Amino acid sequence: MPPPTSLSPEVIASLPPPVWLVSTDAPTAIRDTLLSLQHHFCVQDLPVLIQQVLNREARSSTATEAGVAFPHARTTTVTAPVLAAGLSLQGIPFGNGMLVHLILAVAIPPDHTKEYLDLIAHLVRQVRLHTMEELLRIRTASEFRQVLAL
């Protein structure tokens, strides 16, 4: 399967390594995951981005029964789609009662709706191909790209 077209080669190459989370609540875990984008060249205002993702997650949890959450925002704080991952061995309770072990946070410019939908669909498909044990073995940005077929 080809990689999602919404991520340019430069953005894929700049994906940060996954963050190992020690947070015990969803908002802190999401914030800690997004902080890995602090020096990302596509992120223009990280504090605003974090607040937008948290606001969106508060409206409706993105956690799935598979233990993966997809917090996201369509925002002018990024110049291109960006992705960050957070991993938790113990799991983090999300608002819908799901225990989450993998956070895949996505931010995308507002006018990239099709790319956003394509990227989320791609991530869901790739996550379904792996067990949670496999996903929790990810250590590097390279492994992150490989597992998510980016």
Taking only the tens place, the pLDDT of each residue in 31-51 is 999 999 999 999 999 999 999
Of the candidates 60, 68, 134, 135, the residue with the CA atom closest to the CA atom of residue 100: 68
| H or E segment to which residue 113 belongs | helix 113-128
Percent of the chain beyond pLDDT 70? 93
Distance CA 101, CA 76 (A): 28
pLDDT band for 87, please (50, 70, 90 cuts).
Answer: very high
Q: Mapping DSSP to helix (H, G, I), strand (E, B) and coil, where does residue 20 land?
A: strand
pLDDT band for 6, please (50, 70, 90 cuts).
Answer: low
Q: Label each residue of 40-61 as H, E or C.
A: CCCECCHHHHHHHHHHHHHHCC
pLDDT digits (tens, 9 = 90+) for 90-140: 999 998 788 999 999 999 999 988 888 888 888 888 888 888 888 888 888
Instruction: Enumerate domains of the chain plus CATH numbers.
Output: 9-147 (3.40.930.10)
